[in-house]
A = this chain, B = another copy of it.
Amino acid sequence: MFSKACEYGIRAAIYIGQQSADSGRRVGLRDIATEVGSPEAFTAKVLQQLVRAGLVTSVKGPTGGFTLTPEQLRTVTLRQVVLAIDGGQMLQGCALGLTQCSAKQPCPLHYQFLPIRDQLNEVLRTHTIGELAGKVHDGLGFLRQFS
């Protein structure tokens, strides 16, 4: 569905959001990677993308780390995170890989996939990181395996 980078990015963003909403405190890379079950260095790369896109805030130095501002918690959607990391291929590309697939020249699956893609876009558009973070905070969702 999404790339590994995007999976890590979403999980990391939600974890950062949870900690930010919880106590306003910043979380370090090591902490994030541990809690989310992702490779540390690779996660750093992904987070840099999110920071550059303005979806996550970072602070250098001691007591530094990553955080989501109240505004980011409220406004950043899943869709923005996915777009920043994976681009729009999954969200708008043709299911059969045709570069110009439209009502004018549809692939044989065009109309079958329209509602699926619409629903996917809807889910990504209507869920904020802050909302998902709340779900994790309430024990209604998990970001890694617990064995």
Interface residues of A (CB under 8 A from B): 1-2, 4, 7-8, 10-11, 14, 78, 90, 93, 95-100, 105-110, 112-113, 115-116, 119-120, 123, 127, 132, 135-136, 140-146
Task: Tell which of A1, A2, A10, A108 has the most Cβ of chain B within 10 Å.
Answer: A108
Of all chain B residues, which has the CB nearest A115?
B119
Known: A4-B97, A96-B11. A132 touches B108 (CB 8 A): yes
B146 A105 Cβ-Cβ under 8 A: yes
A116 B112 Cβ-Cβ under 8 A: no
Q: Residues of B contacting A109 with CB < 8 Å?
A: 10, 78, 123, 127, 132, 141
